[in-house]
Structure 1
Amino acid sequence: MPKQDLAADLGGDDTLMSRLSLDLTSDSSTSLIDMLDLLPMGVQIDDLDHRTLYVNDKFTEMLGYTLDDIADLEDWFLQAYPNPAERAAIRADWQARLAHAAATQTEIPTIERTLTCKNGEAKVIEFYVRRIGNHYIYLNTDVSARHNDAAELRLLAYTDPLTNVSNRRHFFEIAEPLTAMIGQPLAALMFDLDHFKALNDQHGHRIGDEVLAEVAARCRAVLRSTDHIARLGGEEFGILLPNCSRANAAEIAERLRRVVAATPASSRSGDVSVTISIGGVSVARTPVDIDTLMSQADRALYAAKRAGRNQIQFFDGLDPDSK
């Protein structure tokens, strides 16, 4: 619909005009469109059959779509939500919101959706929707930056800044659902760097930090995508191995030990030889108490230290009186 025709249509909608607190004449109705084009948010106007009548300049700037791209609701769904399953779910949710608002004579709550722009970029858009007379008015705001900031804050809250693996808090949050699963095998490993205090004393804490970071990176590289590694504190790390048998956990632990011992760690003062000792524990079936599991892995780690370091011990092979 041409903007002039839309302006005349909106100018004749008494309900819309009263809600906008405007008393437009035919001469001034075009100025409404001019004002909408100046708004800092995207504006979309549909009729009651969900045919798109108008989008303002900010809408096109923000999303890339023009009026020709989204002549009706189906065009919008096809382009903004290209994944068929996601599109079906969002369409069903939208229809349910419309039906509820009509049945209860209430307004549609503000909606946030991640949609695909015309150039393929994904953006998080906040939709404020109101029916005014014979039209649906959509006010669209790009809130992607807010979500990105929130995601960065979550990452900072859950990541050890030195090694870029999970921190202790995140480790135990991840452990909660894993240990509560019904009937799944689970293994846990704990390791620390052998003679790390001597390394710090000899090379300094900055070099020690570099070695910690490299060891963490090497270990993360050989773990499965489903495994979770975290720095629990100091030079001590924990690893959760979901759906992992005792035998598989032992294989993973040996890969970790070898990848650390095989090559000296690089640092600004030169290569630094380093090894790790590993303690492990496994359960054939969850649920299991995470504190008990990690306490057993810790006992196994100390057993590996006492046995000479640069080796692996599992809790099921320990003397129950040892520590």
Structure 2
Amino acid sequence: MRDETLFFGDQLAAILRALPDPAFVLTRSGRYIAIFGGIDTRYYHDGAGLIGKCVHDVLAPDKADWFLQEVEHALHSHGLHIVEYSLAACDVQGLESEGPGQRLWFEGRIQVLDFAVAGEDAVLWVASNITARKELEVQLRMQSEIDALSGLLNRRKLLQVLAEHYDTFERYGTPLTALVFDIDHFKRVNDAHGHLAGDAVLQTTAEVCRRELRSTDAPARLGGDEFVVLMPHTSGEQAAPIAERLRQRVAEALQALGSIGAGVTISGGLAGFAAGDARGEDVLKRADDALYQAKRAGRNRICGMR
């Protein structure tokens, strides 16, 4: 029986060493008592050097504090606690090399141990690298929120952002001005030069939006050659020179395309949230009406709020 027990103990130790993901025994104070597994060298380095150290010895202060907070949460709940977290080279102290060039993501499964370790309450923290999953999530989110041709927000994301700002307006009266604009004579570009030329005009317009607008503004492609720019915390008076500058810069950029962009300009309409609005889309309707006013007035201009 004793031989069988010893044999099983050897097997158990080998099983723990063979775990693909690393498992850490961490005390309440953040000391690494033991490390098992982590043999998947695609994602993990040998962590044996951590044993005996505290999280504050190896991690940046804010990251170390976060680890201790999650350990405390698990100890308090007495159940399995699951978290997601990231680690980059700047989060780790004392690296012999520069560390990974990208931020890595992990899922931590934290289980309370029902016995004391080194005189302290302790947990078993199993870390699984989920970076590939996170990157896929980012790609899928971008596909659902970003217009593929222009790289700006798509219609779905635009309406979501607009609804969020409308809620803020209803609650606090925070202003927002919307600019709706389209490209003058865009059909003529497609007919004369082809759809690839039309795509170049759209992409150039989007690039000017990214370059010229403020970081707080939200430019989007509504569809076809129609664009929307949401300008939060901005009155009509403040938005007018921003829209006018954008009009001028787009015209200049399109002229630089040569014959494709010769004489191509934009027309736009401005409108802001109003007290009688029932939903966020109401501001787009008024801005669209102002856009058609600009078309009737001769194009290549911004009409609406001043």
Q: TM tier, shorter chain?
A: 0.7 to 0.9
Looking at structure 2, the residues matched to 49 and 290 of structure 1 have their Cα atoms a distance apart, in angstroms, of 50
Which residue of the partner structure matches residue 234 of structure 2?
Answer: 244
CA pair 237-49 structure 1, distance change in 2 beyond 3 A: closer
Say yes or no: does 1:140 pair with 2:127: yes
Which residue of the partner structure matches residue 161 of structure 1?
Answer: 148
The one-letter code sitting in structure 2 at the alignment partner of 1:151 is V
Percent identity, please. Answer: 30
Which residue of the partner structure matches residue 297 of structure 2?
Answer: 307
Q: Deviations over 1:129-178 (max 9, x none)?
A: 33455364332210111111011100011111010101000001011111
Secondary structure in structure 2 of the residue aligned to 1:43: strand
The one-letter code sitting in structure 2 at the alignment partner of 1:272 is G
Secondary structure in structure 2 of the residue aligned to 1:174: helix
From 81, 85, 109, give the equivalent of 1:109.
Answer: 81
Instruction: Normalising by structure 2, report the TM-score.
Output: 0.81
From 135, 145, 151, give the equivalent of 2:138.
Answer: 151
Instruction: Normalising by structure 1, report the TM-score.
Output: 0.78
Which residue of the partner structure matches residue 15 of structure 2?
Answer: 35
Q: Deviations over 1:58-103 (max 9, x none)?
A: 279435462333524xx225634x252x5545533431321121xx
Q: Which ranges of structure 2 fall in alignment gaps of 5 or more residues?
A: 93-98, 118-122
The answer (yes or no) to whether the contact 2:201–2:254 under 8 Å persists in 1 is no
From 58, 61, 72, give the equivalent of 1:79.
Answer: 58
Pairwise mapping of residues 244-263 of structure 1 onto structure 2 (< 5 A)? 244-263=234-253
The answer (yes or no) to whether the contact 2:243–2:302 under 8 Å persists in 1 is yes
Q: Deviations over 1:211-261 (max 9, x none)?
A: 111111112210000000111011000110011122220011111110011
Secondary structure in structure 1 of the residue aligned to 2:254: coil
From 10, 17, 35, give the equivalent of 1:55.
Answer: 35
Which residue of the partner structure matches residue 272 of structure 1?
Answer: 261
Figure out how many residues of one structure are paired with residues of the other and give that number: 284
The one-letter code sitting in structure 2 at the alignment partner of 1:115 is L
Say yes or no: does 1:98 pair with 2:75: yes
Looking at structure 2, the residues matched to 236 and 151 of structure 1 have their Cα atoms a distance apart, in angstroms, of 26
Looking at structure 1, the residues matched to 255 and 135 of structure 2 have their Cα atoms a distance apart, in angstroms, of 34
The one-letter code sitting in structure 2 at the alignment partner of 1:111 is V
CA pair 246-50 structure 1, distance change in 2 beyond 3 A: closer
Secondary structure in structure 1 of the residue aligned to 2:50: coil
The answer (yes or no) to whether the contact 2:71–2:110 under 8 Å persists in 1 is no
Pairwise mapping of residues 7-22 of structure 1 onto structure 2 (< 5 A)? none
The one-letter code sitting in structure 2 at the alignment partner of 1:114 is S
Which residue of the partner structure matches residue 104 of structure 1?
Answer: none
Secondary structure in structure 2 of the residue aligned to 1:262: helix
Bigger Cα Rg = 1
Looking at structure 2, the residues matched to 251 and 146 of structure 1 have their Cα atoms a distance apart, in angstroms, of 43
Q: Deviations over 1:256-296 (max 9, x none)?
A: 110011243566x8542220001001248898731210100
- Pairwise CA distance, 1:122: 2.9
Looking at structure 2, the residues matched to 24 and 257 of structure 1 have their Cα atoms a distance apart, in angstroms, of 81
CA pair 244-131 structure 1, distance change in 2 beyond 3 A: closer
From 106, 109, 112, give the equivalent of 1:125.
Answer: 106
Q: Which ranges of structure 1 fall in alignment gaps of 5 or more residues?
A: 1-11, 13-22, 102-106, 318-323
The answer (yes or no) to whether the contact 1:187–1:280 under 8 Å persists in 2 is yes
Q: Deviations over 1:18-77 (max 9, x none)?
A: xxxxx641x6634433332322211223468764232245279435462333524xx225
The answer (yes or no) to whether the contact 1:45–1:138 under 8 Å persists in 2 is yes
The answer (yes or no) to whether the contact 1:53–1:67 under 8 Å persists in 2 is no
